[in-house]
Chains A and B, each alone.
Chain A
Amino acid sequence: MATKTEMMIDRLYTVNTDAEIPQSRKTLGRLILWAASALVILSFLIEGLFKAGKISFGYENWQPVLYAVMIWCLALGVFLVMTKGESGKKLLFVLPAFLFTVFMVIFPTIFGLYIAFTDWNLSAFEGQHFNGADNLVHMWHDPYFWNALANMIYYTLAIFVEYAIAFGLALLLNAEIKARKFFRVAFLLPFMLSPVAVSWMIGKSLGEYRFGPLATLARHLGWNQPAFFSTPGLARTSIMIMDAWTYIPFMLIMLLAGLQAMPKEVQEAARVDGATGWQAFWKITFPLMLPVSITAVILRVIFKLKLADIIINMTAGGPGGATDSVTSFIFREYRERSNVGYGTMLAFVYLVFIILFVTGLLKIASRWNTSGQD
């Protein structure tokens, strides 16, 4: 009980004047909120009835409803300040971001759930119909979706290699070197480039079969047919390498910050005790870096699960779906077949997988973190 009340106390103490708010002010605040709510309901009704053909006046799109909702949000802020005083003013800090996220995520998600259970196809003449679990059944028998999910596992596993490289580079940058700033900027640059440009710069230009420098280099090294996107395995590896190229800097910077925050005395103590560099790394540096490493890897996994741009622009999922990520597959499902209903269902199934996977990952990570501190 004590902890519960403690939790409700602000860290920044303020004088509470809520009791002094006159009743008339509270009533006015309520009136404003009621008026705004009425406005939203009214605009919604007019628009809905107009679209349904029941009344003859209305607007050609739903934008007025959007404005009404925005006015309602403002009214909510005014209402909070007028009725709750100081604590209302405190709520105003978090309210804009909160309302924005709720409106931008919750409503589309609810709407998306509805779409997911329809056979909506943009190229079909009749509108959408509720079709129950048909999309789920279709998904169950769709080898390309499961193939894309399997690809995501490969792509995610590639993070371990990226992590090893990033850690190695972070160690190098943390060593006593000259021109550290130059190297840091150079190493950061790939992260700044748009994946679309990268897929042209590396995939289509550097890796061009006949005269790209990468192909030429491969020929010099004894590989006669350096076609980087010909076989499924090769194509997948090439996508992984391009994605790694853009995102290694991300992990590298986080790991470098972790290394720099580590107290120097620990390393020195290990050296005094006669540990070799290898031992010092595995017994001291690596365990101390575990929390930072876990944060970096989890963030990287989250970004990896959204992987699509490079695939859409480089291989469009080919050859034979070998490089498809779930996102790029759904993108084409919509772009090429206009299957909005089915695509949305796939996206929601993917979301469920992601939530389960990331929650599991966080659980494991927190267990590791606590056991590491013992």
Chain B
Amino acid sequence: MTSLTDTIRIADVAEEKDTSAKFYFGRFFVYGALTLWTIICLFPIYWTLSTSFKVAKDVQKGAIVPWVGYMPNWKGWQSLGLSPDTIVRPSTVRDEFFKRFFNSVITSVSASLLAVLIGSLAAYGLSRFAYKIGWMRNKDISFFFLSQLILPPVVLALPFLALYKELALLDSTIGLILLYTLMVLPIVIWIMRDQFGGIPIELEEAALVDGLSIWGAFFRIVLPLAAPGMVAAFILALVLCWNEYFFAALLTSTHATTVPVMVASQTGSQGINWWSMAALSTAAIAPLVVIGVFLEKYIIKGMTAGSVK
């Protein structure tokens, strides 16, 4: 009897040992894989940032660690007019960069705001009321909005080029804002439909009974509840608009060009001026890295809306 329980206990211990070895091996594998992918994700960003502090011979050495492999200096940022010693002096490159930068900010923020505004209204209407526009009912209207997502930009690009020329909107920020709004509108409607679907209708019914109109109920009851979803939609739209290159490259030339167009034109023309290219790339991606780090929650909320029921 005792021998039997002993055997069982021994077997148990052996199995526990086995699982713990396995456990540690599993941990090792999991963290190893996670670290490897973190390096894959972050190294290009680190390399770009560090290259902006290198001179030609450091780049050619392939130096990676600052102060060990190379001595950091401000050369790249000097050429952009953004280093500590040049920031107070006038610089045409810096003015150029800031002009593009503010173009990008104005374009992407306005387009995202406009898309969130009209997209939220449409998504709310579609989630609460039954419509009939022509032969289209709610399902068809939703499909009409979402189907714009598969429209490739090339189809619209050349007609818009010709139309904008006639409307004097070519190379204008307004023209770009309208196109970007169109581009992100399906995504905003997708996210907001999910968001409004999660808000109980009883709240608005109570508000209507208390004498609010449907628009009053929307603004005073529903909107505050849907705010996190709107922020998520706004941030995601902002990221997509900020990075857009195709329309900006085709439809702008001097006044309304955005940061991606400037980066692209620099890569083509300057050959191998590494440090200034690296500084420019760093400056171009910095706002998005900041958004990614601090507003990650909202981006993930936006990206996963509607995909998990």
Contact between chains at B154 and A347 (CB < 8 Å): yes
Instruction: Say whether A52 faces chain B, with CB atoms less than 8 Å apart.
Output: no
Instruction: Say whether B129 faces chain A, with CB atoms less than 8 Å apart.
Output: yes
Contact between chains at B300 and A12 (CB < 8 Å): no
- Return the chain B residue nearest A100 by Cβ: B118
Given A12-B129, A254-B307, A309-B245 in contact, is the A63-B158 Cβ separation under 8 Å?
no
Instruction: Say whether A322 faces chain B, with CB atoms less than 8 Å apart.
Output: no
Q: In the complex, which residues of chain A have a beta carbon less than 8 angstroms from the beta carbon of B250?
A: 331, 334-335
B169 CB to closest chain A CB (Å) equals 8
Contact between chains at A61 and B168 (CB < 8 Å): yes
Contact between chains at B119 and A292 (CB < 8 Å): no
Q: In the complex, which residues of chain A have a beta carbon less than 8 angstroms from the beta carbon of B171?
A: none
Given A9-B130, A61-B168, A254-B307 in contact, is the A105-B148 Cβ separation under 8 Å?
yes
A60–B43 Cα distance when bound, in Å, is 53
- Return the chain B residue nearest A277 by Cβ: B26
Instruction: Say whether A321 faces chain B, with CB atoms less than 8 Å apart.
Output: no
Q: In the complex, which residues of chain A have a beta carbon less than 8 angstroms from the beta carbon of B11?
A: none
Contact between chains at A177 and B31 (CB < 8 Å): yes
Contact between chains at A63 and B30 (CB < 8 Å): no
Instruction: Say whether A26 faces chain B, with CB atoms less than 8 Å apart.
Output: no
Instruction: Say whether A150 faces chain B, with CB atoms less than 8 Å apart.
Output: no
Partner of A108, one of B163, B208, B299: B163
Contact between chains at B205 and A205 (CB < 8 Å): no
Q: In the complex, which residues of chain A have a beta carbon less than 8 angstroms from the beta carbon of B284?
A: 194, 196-197
Interface residues on B, range: 35 or more
B242 CB to closest chain A CB (Å) equals 7
Q: In the complex, which residues of chain A have a beta carbon less than 8 angstroms from the beta carbon of B145?
A: 97, 101
Contact between chains at B307 and A292 (CB < 8 Å): yes
Chain A residues engaging chain B, CB cutoff 8 angstroms: 7-15, 60-63, 66, 86, 89-94, 96-98, 100-101, 104-105, 107-109, 111-112, 115, 168-169, 172-173, 175, 177, 181, 183-202, 204-206, 210-213, 216, 245, 250, 253-254, 257-258, 261, 291-292, 295-296, 302, 305-306, 308-309, 312-313, 326-327, 330-331, 334-335, 340, 343-344, 346-348, 350-351, 354-355, 358
6 contacts between A and B (CB under 8 A): A63-B169, A101-B148, A196-B260, A200-B281, A213-B62, A331-B249
Chain B residues engaging chain A, CB cutoff 8 angstroms: 30-31, 33-34, 37-38, 40-45, 47-48, 51, 59-62, 64, 117-119, 121-122, 124-133, 137-138, 141, 144-145, 148-163, 166-169, 178-179, 181-182, 185, 189, 201, 204-205, 208, 213-215, 218, 239, 242-243, 245-246, 249-250, 259-261, 263-264, 267-268, 274, 277-278, 281, 284-285, 288-289, 291-293, 296, 299-300, 303-304, 307-309
